Amino acid sequence: MASHVLVVATVTAASDDLLAALRERVSRGPVDFLLVMPATRPGLAGRRETEPRLREALTVWREAGLRADGVAGPNDPVDAVDEVCSPGRFDEVIVSTLPGATSRWLRSDVPYRIGRLTDLPVAHVVAMSMARNLPEPEQPRQRRSDPMSLLNVMAYGGSRRPEPR
């Protein structure tokens, strides 16, 4: 009996690193993959814009010998998983992201949030092969330090819990 693995990816869906991870997963036993690709923007128009990239990725996967289907989901990756993941349908999840600070998904902790939502094991694949094609992430602007800001933080006592007696 084949395992059912949910894969969540957008721009990294056809990356060498994700394909290597999928091949490694196949080496452990038969598996059927479902690629859920979050839309490029909200709404039906966003899903339609995503469909060519989804078809392209599935073609690459199938040419690599993988059994795979796919669906374009809502633009939020956690919502996209929630839409397709019903209890018992999948055995594990693979989330593929861009590396480091270039990844919006990592900044919003998507792999962890998907794990919490599905209660399934989540493997995180970083598409390092795509790092050289990406622009440098914007650095946050340095704000002038307000000398009173440290005092404001120090003055805040936080929530006080009564001490146990």
Examine residue 20 and state whether it is found in any structural domain, yes or no. yes
Better pLDDT: 165 or 95: 95
Examine residue 15 and state whether it is found in any structural domain, yes or no. yes
Examine residue 106 and state whether it is found in any structural domain, yes or no. yes
Examine residue 143 and state whether it is found in any structural domain, yes or no. no
Domain count, the chain: 1
DSSP secondary structure letters along 19-68: HHHHHHHHHTS-EEEEEEEE-SSSHHHHHHHHHHHHHHHHHHHHHTT--E
**In which domain, by residue range, is 46 found?**
3-133
Q: Radius of gyration over alpha carbons of the chain, in Å?
A: 20
Model confidence over 113-124: pLDDT tens digits?
A: 999 999 999 999
The answer to whether 59 and 13 have CB atoms below 8 angstroms apart is: no
Question: What type of residue sits at position 66?
Answer: L
Examine residue 141 and state whether it is found in any structural domain, yes or no. no
Residue 89's CATH number: 3.40.50.620
For residues 97-106, give the mean pLDDT: 87
